[in-house]
């Protein structure tokens, strides 16, 4: 059985769902003409409106995202932001970064404050499960067709693309968008190679309760073994993201809750006092990966299918959402719905986002290498560097605005709107 459609998006995570909602909201495709393909739709689909399901989402999901101002604006355009449960969205106002040889908000540290930027906050911590479900709801409400099936093959030519699914169905489209994550099957079938390297690290994720209040502040201490971040949550707890070597990850995950809390306390330098572990500890491997090409005739890659960066700055999802905005903008500039699959528009998207994403990946890779060095001379240099940036308001402001997603080559879709 074959079905004709305008756009097939493979991957129904937040990036793929936002891509679908955005194409429909910008009238780049008509309702019923965008297919969102995933093997996880039944498991992830919400049972009802956001308000009805909010209580089922509490407490916070183990996975959370730090969303930038640009991401908030894009989610609002897609009908997601204002539908998220208020208890599971927590704006933070400050960020304190310090080296293990320094002192929080003192020597060898750097603090960003939204008041210094004239912004209401520096971003928001958002519950991962609520975000996933609201993005899918918005895509469905906009008119996306939900397709639950595994991908069998992709044949893209200059005239169109045919997608074969494992259940025998076929979708004939004008454009396919790969949003199916790090191990993208779509990217593989399109013949797009990747490059990068592993950090030989795991990121440990858990929620903790601290003796001292987080004060709406994201705290991050750079250790030679990897950074430890505390992301503030609305219930007073913090979500930790702790990058450690694979061997240390195995050791830490084998500890009982009290022992693990003591290890976090030692690694944090006691910045928030005594710690209580309130959730299980999850882990995921850390690596740098980037696609050598973002587009093929009638095909484009977005999000983790195109790039994966170190999580030390929490920019992964923000970069993916900017991909969506840029791709929609390029298609719109080329003529809207009539230009779906236009190779010139796809190439403009690639040139714009590939350069920005590689710049971010290189910067994060450089930071990881700098702060993981145990060389005493380099340790003194990075500590002095943090203090120097803190004393240069212009540089500090530019860094903060780039993190907000409102500085640099930013798509027009996320400029100039209140969040």
**For the chain, which ranges sit under pLDDT 50?**
43-57, 388, 391-392, 417-419
Instruction: Tell me the β-bridge partners of 38.
Output: 148
Q: What is the pLDDT of residues 116-129, one digit of tens each?
A: 888 899 999 999 99
* 311 secondary structure, DSSP code: G
The pLDDT, as a whole number, for residue 339 is 77
The count of residues in the chain is 419
The pTM of the full predicted model, rounded to 2 decimals, is 0.90
End-to-end CA distance of the chain: 44
96 bridge partner residues: 111, 219
244: exposed, middle or buried (Cβ count in 10 Å: 0-12, 13-18, 19+): buried
CATH code: domain 2-91+126-195+288-372 is 3.50.50.60
Residues 18-59: pLDDT tens digits?
999 999 999 999 999 999 999 765 544 443 333 333 334 458
HSE (CB half, 13 Å, CA atoms) of 237?
18
Token code pair at residue 340: 């779906």
Q: What is the pLDDT of residue 53?
A: 38
Q: pLDDT value at position 411?
A: 85
């Amino acid at each position: 059985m074959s079905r004709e459609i305008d756009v097939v998006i493979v991957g129904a995570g937040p990036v793929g769902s936002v891509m679908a909602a955005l194409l429909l909201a910008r009238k780049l495709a008509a309702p019923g003409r965008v297919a969102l393909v995933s093997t996880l739709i039944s498991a992830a689909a919400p049972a009802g409106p956001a308000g009805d399901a909010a209580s089922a989402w509490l407490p916070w999901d183990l996975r959370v995202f730090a969303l930038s101002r640009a991401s908030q604006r894009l989610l609002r355009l897609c009908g997601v932001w204002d539908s998220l449960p208020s208890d599971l969205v927590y704006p933070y106002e400050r960020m304190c970064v310090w080296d293990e040889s320094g002192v929080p908000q003192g020597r060898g540290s750097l603090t960003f404050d939204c008041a210094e930027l004239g912004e209401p906050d520096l971003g928001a911590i958002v519950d991962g499960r609520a975000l996933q479900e609201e993005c899918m709801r918005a895509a469905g409400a906009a008119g996306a067709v939900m397709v639950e099936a595994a991908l069998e093959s992709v044949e893209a030519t200059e005239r169109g693309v045919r997608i074969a699914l494992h259940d025998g169905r076929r979708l004939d489209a004008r454009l396919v968008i790969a949003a199916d994550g790090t191990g993208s099957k779509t990217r593989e079938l399109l013949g797009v190679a990747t490059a990068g390297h592993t950090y030989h690290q795991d990121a440990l994720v858990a929620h903790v309760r601290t003796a001292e209040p987080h004060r709406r502040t994201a705290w991050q201490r750079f250790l030679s073994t990897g950074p430890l971040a505390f992301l503030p949550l609305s219930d007073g707890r913090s979500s930790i993201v702790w990058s450690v070597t694979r061997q240390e990850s195995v050791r830490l995950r084998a500890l009982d809750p009290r022992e693990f809390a003591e290890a976090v306390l030692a690694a944090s330098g006691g910045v928030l006092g005594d710690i209580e572990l309130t959730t299980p500890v999850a882990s995921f491997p850390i690596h740098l990966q980037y696609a050598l090409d973002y587009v093929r005739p009638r095909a484009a890659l977005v999000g983790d299918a195109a790039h994966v960066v170190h999580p030390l700055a929490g920019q992964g999802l923000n970069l993916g959402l900017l991909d969506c905005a840029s791709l929609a903008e390029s298609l719109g500039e080329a003529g809207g719905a009539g230009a779906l699959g236009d190779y010139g528009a796809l190439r403009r998207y690639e040139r714009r986002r590939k350069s920005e994403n590689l710049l971010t990946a290189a910067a994060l890779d450089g930071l990881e290498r700098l702060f993981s060095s145990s060389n005493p001379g380099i340790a003194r240099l990075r500590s002095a560097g943090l203090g120097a940036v803190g004393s240069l308001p212009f540089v500090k402001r530019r860094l903060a605005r780039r993190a907000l997603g409102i500085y640099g080559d930013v798509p027009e879709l996320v400029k100039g709107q209140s969040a």
